[in-house]
Amino acid sequence: MANRWIEKPLGELGKALRAGKISSIDLHEEARTRHRTYGPALSAYRVWDETRARAQAEAADAAFRKGEDNGPLQGIPVSVKDLFGVDYLDTYAGTPKPLPDAWRSEGPVIRSVRAQNAVLTGKTHMVEFAFGGLGTNAHWPVPRNPWDMNVARVSGGSSSGAGVSLIEGSALVALGSDTAGSVRVPASVTGTVGLKVTAGRWPTDGIVPLSPTFDTPGILARSVADTAIAFEVVDAYCAGRKMRAIATPAALDGIRIGLAEQHFWDGCPDDIAGAVRDALGELEKAGATLVPVELPEVEEAYALFRQGSVVSSELRAFVESELPDWQDTLDPNVSFRMSSALDLDDEEIIRRRARLTEIASTANAGIKGVDIVITPTVPLTAPALADVVDGKAYSAANLQTLKNTCIGNILEFCAITLPVALDAKGIPVGLQCMGAANTEERLLSAALAIERKLGTARDRLGAPPLATDNSRS
């Protein structure tokens, strides 16, 4: 693999495409080569759509030649989680058969990247109906975590193929969804960046629902800088406005970082907690201010999450009403979680939603004195697939995996994770930054400052063993 344009930052690629130093077809060919080389071992995609991706790359090049510049994702390979409608591809949502054609309908998130002449590489694997944080699926090959050469480990869920597609090098941006951590968990354990926006900021039209109360679209990319570009593309389209300037790094010595000691660090292994605390030490030494914060709402939020009542009830209602023929083939882990939740009537669901709104409001008010709150993203090493075959083991690992990320959804924060180290098993450790609702621009500026100081994934982690060209210098 002599040509490595596919490894360049989006900003640099954009300049090269517009200067004619590289074509969209060149990028597509590099992505295709990477997929053919690493894809068989990693299983990121349910469908790799090579023919149409090439046609889209040709269309992007034709637009460039005519002087048409539709935005920073023009000609850029983008993978799509298989619950987003794409009008020419079936949507499976992790189930064993295609959903009705209505679920091909494209929503604003897909339309935003299509409007820019992005190149959609295909549909990535996911947990069935997005209901799980580990990334396993009884119906399809499970994407393999690229960071362990010897042990097949989970790649995080529910957007299980999304982070893997980035590490594979077949996509530079991955679209996912996040209900309790489904963007941030796979980003964390694959050494990529994952952004969850505030619920309601981006429409969920054209996305198969898990829980309308908590569902949010999200972005995975290889760096915070790339994520900031993709964020502005989607955000501008969804808001019906012109693109603004891409977020820039804040001054690190002006950032106030909140530290909530309760919950987020409890039970976190020493190697993971230590890696995040070491990163915090680097930031403090560079001028960031660490501020203790109290988040008493976390205890109630997590108790409600463990009951699974709202999410499970909403998924069950959706499947029973919209997809009754899919009930008999549910993945056992999905079926168990869906059926074991409290059986709540409509009145109780409304009451719980109201209570969730109350605690989210007070939590957002409680972090106004800081720019971001930092925690470990996933307080668990990505488990070996063999260790989560048993239902009880799966449930325990799934609960621990989502322990820190679910709080961001329940308390209506926006959140991003970026890689800072490898744990004792050689699996990436993520640092989670959470901000108050609808402060994504400030969150991204802070995360950019952190990335500028700590370095990107390649700087901090090196190269993943299962997606590394041996000819690299």
DSSP state of 71: -
Residue 43 bears catalytic tag: no
Q: Which two tokens stand for residue 54?
A: 């090439």
* Catalytic, out of 112, 177, 182, 211: 182
**Following DSSP, what letter does each residue of 375-408 receive, concatenated?**
EES-SSPPPBGGGG-SHHHHHHHHHHHTTTHHHH
CB atoms within 10 A of CB 357: 11
- Angle formed by the axes of helices 10-19 and 24-42, to 10°? 140
Nearest to 383 by CA among 398, 369, 373, 368: 398
> Which residue of the set 23, 81, 160, 312 is catalytic?
81
Q: What is the DSSP letter of 258?
A: E
Of the candidates 283, 465, 269, the residue with the CA atom closest to the CA atom of residue 378: 269
Which of the 8 DSSP states describes residue 89?
B
Helix runs in 250-330, H state only: 270-285, 297-307, 309-322
Q: Is 158 a catalytic residue?
A: yes
Geometric angle at alpha carbon 419, from 200 and 268, rounded to 5°: 90
| Cβ contacts of 395-399, under 8 Å, gap ≥ 24 | 395/333, 395/336, 395/337, 397/134, 398/132, 398/133, 398/134, 398/333, 399/306
165 is catalytic: no
Sheet holding 428-435, edge to edge: 45-48, 119-124, 77-81, 173-178, 216-221, 193-196, 414-422, 428-435, 372-376, 256-259, 289-292
* Active-site position among 158, 160, 165, 445: 158
By annotation, the residues acting in catalysis are: 81, 158, 182
